Amino acid sequence: MAGKGSCRLNSIGFGTWAWGNEFVWGYDPNRDDGRLAATFRQALSSGLNLIDTADSYGTGRLNGRSESLLGGFIEALPASRRSQLVVATKLAPFPWRQGRRGLDRAFNASQKRLGGYLKRVQLHWSTARYAPWQEAALLDGLADLVQAQQVDELGVSNVGARRLLWMQARLRERGVKLSSVQIQWSLLSPGVAPAQELLDLCQALDIEVLAYSPLAFGVLGCTPGDTPRPSTWLRQRLFRRLLPESLPIRQLLAAIARERGVSMVQVALNWCRATGTTPIPGIRSPRQAMDAAAALTWQLSEAECFALNQARERCLARMPSNPFQSR
Ligand SMILES: NC(=O)c1ccc[n+]([C@@H]2O[C@H](COP(=O)([O-])OP(=O)(O)OC[C@H]3O[C@@H](n4cnc5c(N)ncnc54)[C@H](OP(=O)(O)O)[C@@H]3O)[C@@H](O)[C@H]2O)c1
């Protein structure tokens, strides 16, 4: 695989799904917002500039919460710092958002919540599995926004190599560059062969790959002796299954981390970077922000990459796939 020692080094961003989501992440506005503001400031002062959010981050009455929190945090920054950020949101192609103008209202609402600081708009998932005829229209609508200079960059998410090739060609005809594709990518991510095919294609086409859930929801940060109990039932269930199955790979992460005097999370993020991707870990404390940024200060050796790739091939543990991931 491309990662075998080919340590082409991308940057690191951060993700904000947990900033508003109650079901998976147990978000509580009264308890969490102060800590998230401090996390944001720490991430930026540690040099993390790429921020991923989505219009669907924030459940129920908290709809759009991740974007509104970010909008407020960004507004408080000096203008010179703001201009260095790449704020990327994802618009959900819900079945009721149809046609070329189907995402316009959602785009305007996101832009408003983000205080006008949106730089990249991304299609959150492919509609190939349930409404393939919608995809061209929705993509054309996003390309219109770029051509009208309402936003600078366009990305997509949860697409496979075949769909990506088609999307890239359609955008190229319009003279719009596809900046990034976002897929689940970690030492425990599913669909290794198709994901690798996508990575190879992106390298050939010069499209940045953003690795989402690079820590397998936090499993890859758990030391072999850890028995964490995450706050929500969904994560508890996932940890119960994945912790035993991922023990060999976590033992290797811990050994590399110990040898280098870094954290397991840093090793897992640098494995993503070594595969040519830009990881966007979910962070929600200043300590986690500093830890993610510290991974930028070093890189894995070829031998370490090789050992991790081998362990990954043998590992039984796999994260669930995104149901809307296309081929
Ligand atoms: N395009 C898509 O469909 C899609 C899907 C999923 C995610 N994403 C994006 O990708 C981002 C990241 O993925 P994710 O949030 O699903 O999962 P992740 O990055 O694999 O895991 C995040 C969790 O790992 C733990 N963690 C983070 N830093 C740590 C550290 N230094 N030490 C120990 N534990 C640490 C934290 O758990 P605790 O807070 O419990 O400690 C954190 O909440 C999301 O926020 C979102 O922006 C996109």
State in Å: Cα 38 to ligand 1 middle: 17
Residues 6+ apart with CB under 8 A from 49: 11, 13, 84, 85, 86
The low-confidence residues of the chain, meaning pLDDT below 50, are 1-8
State in Å: Cα 216 to ligand 1 middle: 7
Atom of ligand 1 nearest to the CA of 52: 47
Q: Is the CB of 89 under 6 A from ligand 1?
A: no
| Phi/psi of residue 51, nearest 5 degrees | -120, 125
Q: Alpha-carbon distance 208 to 155, whole Å?
A: 9
Return the H-helix or E-strand segment holding 123: strand 120-123
Q: What is the pLDDT of residue 209?
A: 98
Question: 161-174 vs 192-205: helix axis angle to the nearest 10?
Answer: 20
Q: What is the pLDDT of residue 325?
A: 86
Q: Report the 10 Å Cβ neighbour count for 25.
A: 23
Q: Is the CB of 93 under 6 A from ligand 1?
A: no
| Phi/psi of residue 119, nearest 5 degrees | -110, -35
Atom of ligand 1 nearest to the CA of 266: 31
Rg (CA), the chain: 19
Q: What is the pLDDT of residue 191?
A: 92
Q: Report the 10 Å Cβ neighbour count for 85.
A: 17
Question: Which amino acid residue places its CA nearest to atom 37 of ligand 1?
Answer: 218
Buried/exposed code over 292-310 (b: 16+ C-beta within 10 A; e: otherwise):
bbbbbeeebeeebbeebbe
Question: Which amino acid residue places its CA nearest to atom 1 of ligand 1?
Answer: 157
Q: Alpha-carbon distance 63 to 94, whole Å?
A: 14
Q: Is 57 a catalytic residue?
A: yes
Identity at 290, one-letter amino acid code: M
Atom of ligand 1 nearest to the CA of 16: 45
Q: Is the CB of 283 under 6 A from ligand 1?
A: yes
Atom of ligand 1 nearest to the CA of 125: 3
Of the candidates 16, 107, 123, 109, the one whose C-alpha atom is nearest the C-alpha of residue 70 is: 16
List, as one string, the DSSP characters of 225-247.
T-----SSHHHHHHHHHHHHHTH
* Candidate list 27, 57, 117, 130, residue with the active-site label: 57
| Phi/psi of residue 106, nearest 5 degrees | -65, -40
Q: Alpha-carbon distance 111 to 55, whole Å?
A: 10
Q: 135 near 94, Cβ under 8 Å?
A: no
Q: Is the CB of 215 under 6 A from ligand 1?
A: yes
State in Å: Cα 10 to ligand 1 middle: 18
Return the H-helix or E-strand segment holding 180: strand 178-184
Q: What is the pLDDT of residue 220?
A: 98
Strand ranges of the sheet holding 178-184, from the earlier edge strand across to the other edge: 14-15, 50-52, 86-91, 120-123, 153-157, 178-184, 208-212, 278-279
State in Å: Cα 17 to ligand 1 middle: 8
Domains contained in the chain, CATH given: 14-314 (3.20.20.100)
Q: Is the CB of 57 under 6 A from ligand 1?
A: no
Buried/exposed code over 162-178 (b: 16+ C-beta within 10 A; e: otherwise):
ebbebbbebbeeeebeb
Q: 135 near 171, Cβ under 8 Å?
A: no
Return the structure tokens found at 181.
Answer: 């594709």
The DSSP code for 85 is -
